[in-house]
Structure 1
Amino acid sequence: MNQLFLDARSVLDSWRAPDARQEELRVEYLAHLERHPDAMSRSCLPGHLTASAALLDADGERTALTLHAKLKMWLQLGGHCEEADSSLAGAALREAVEESGVAGVRLLPVPVRLDRHAVPCGGGSWHLDVQYAAVAPPDAPLVIDSAESDDLRWFPIGELPDSADSACRALVAAAAARVRAETAAPR
């Protein structure tokens, strides 16, 4: 087992789900890891773990979304883990930086939620997405540089575009709440 697989198991073992449905997904993800040693690879066609992040601006008022080139939907930043990734958090951060072009992104180290959704990978599969919150430096410009994206924009947290799916909306809400809680916590 590689470091990424071991990290995923450790993250999911220790993660405290915020509700019963999230706990069901956590247990499902762990069972999937036990059944599929290749669960971190896109070649695992029953489904594979992925990592994504809701990238918020420094004020926590806006989120960066990408217009997915194939799906034609506004979505959070993220995707498949790569062989060079050693952790889920690292994969989420790498994807957020690659897809936004923003340097100096700060990833909150603990996932904010999980989401399992159908995708067209390999003719039809599942993404078992581990979702994080990330914060961009002040006044960070977005730089589109991806064949996977038709557009990239900042959207106010409460005004996401109609084509953003429920998983994206739930992640943005959870990430905004986590960032607000972190900001409000005494230091």
Structure 2
Amino acid sequence: MTSSATTTSSASLYDDARRVLANWRAPDAAQARLRDAYLAHLDTFADGVWRSRTEGHITASALVVDPSRRRVLLTLHPKVGLWLQTGGHCEEADATLAGAALREAVEESGIADLTLRPEPVWLDRHDVRCGGPDRWSVHYDVEFVAVAAPDATAHISEESLDLRWFDYDALPGKTDDAVRTLVRRAAALLG
């Protein structure tokens, strides 16, 4: 990739992140405040979408839902030891947040045929060890929902210890409130 292509990709992802967040209708006041914090982060750091911004950076994730819209696919994260939605860092080739979330979902689920809702459904800001055992960073996660095709078969990736479908109301004990909230939000949106 040439440096001009990298600059264009970087600018387009940054611009897309600003546009998506600025236009997103937050479902409540707490999410609106969080959206404003994400925008302030981007206003402060032109490179705020990249993991090299060690203070914090935008990430993109997608909760994969089965076609019946009763189960979600969660991955057992090797570093955190919890069942989480698919997702991760934005990459140079990502032109949009939705594209980054879809790429991560396909890579981590092994399901190529996913239909991503084009708008985020939730935001989650959390502290993580990123870049080493003693390096803390903030992930400004922009969360989407993707629905799998009826014949979809999940395949565990190298980025996961395990990969399983869970009913909405039977999530594993080793998950967190952020995932539970995301699942409730997805269930309400998808019906």
Asked if TM exceeds 0.5, the reply is yes
Q: Which residue of 2 is the match for residue 142 of structure 1? A: 154
- Please report how far the alpha carbon of residue 45 of structure 1 lies from its aligned counterpart in structure 2 after TM superposition: 1.2
The runs of at least 4 consecutive aligned structure 1 residues that moved more than 4 Å come to: none
Gaps of 5+ in 1: 181-187
- Distance in 2 between the 1:126 and 1:158 partners? 29
- 1:140 maps to a residue whose letter is A
Deviation at 1:106, TM superposition (A): 0.2
State the shift of 1:139 in Å: 3.4
**Distance (Å, rounded) in 2 between the aligned partners of 1:134 and 1:172:** 12
Correspondences of 1:42-57 after superposition (within 5 Å): 42-57=51-66
Farther off after superposition, 164-173 or 105-114: 164-173
SS at 1:63 equivalent: strand
Partner of 2:21: helix, strand, or coil?
helix
Alignment partner of 2:161: what SS? Answer: strand
**1:184 equivalent in structure 2:** none
Q: 2:109 corresponds to which letter in structure 1?
A: S
Equivalent residue letter for 1:149:
S
For residue 81 of structure 1, what is the amino acid of its counterpart? C
Contact 1:102 1:141 in 2 (8 A): yes
Contact 1:117–1:126 (CA under 8 A) maintained in structure 2: yes
- Gap regions ≥5 residues in structure 2: 1-9
The within-5 A match list for 1:126-165 is 126-146=138-158, 148-165=159-176
* Cα root mean square deviation, aligned: 0.9
Residue number among 13, 24, 27 corresponding to 2:36 in the alignment: 27
Tell me, in whole angstroms, the C-alpha distance in 1 between the residues paired with 2:91 and 2:170. Answer: 32
Letter in 1 for 2:100: A
- The 1-side partners of 2:187 and 2:59 are apart by 21
Summarize deviations over 1:160-180 as a string: whole Å, max 9, x none.
101111111111111121122
Task: Give % identity.
Answer: 56
TM-score in terms of structure 1 length: 0.94
Partners of 1:130 and 1:162 in 2: how far apart?
24
Paired residues for 1:30-179 under 5 Å: 30-122=39-131, 123-146=135-158, 148-179=159-190
What SS class does the counterpart of residue 129 from structure 1 fall into?
Answer: strand
Aligned residues: 179
Deviation per CA, 1:111-162: give whole Å up to 9, x if none.
001000011013101100000111000131110122x210000000111101
Deviation of residue 104 (structure 1)? 1.0
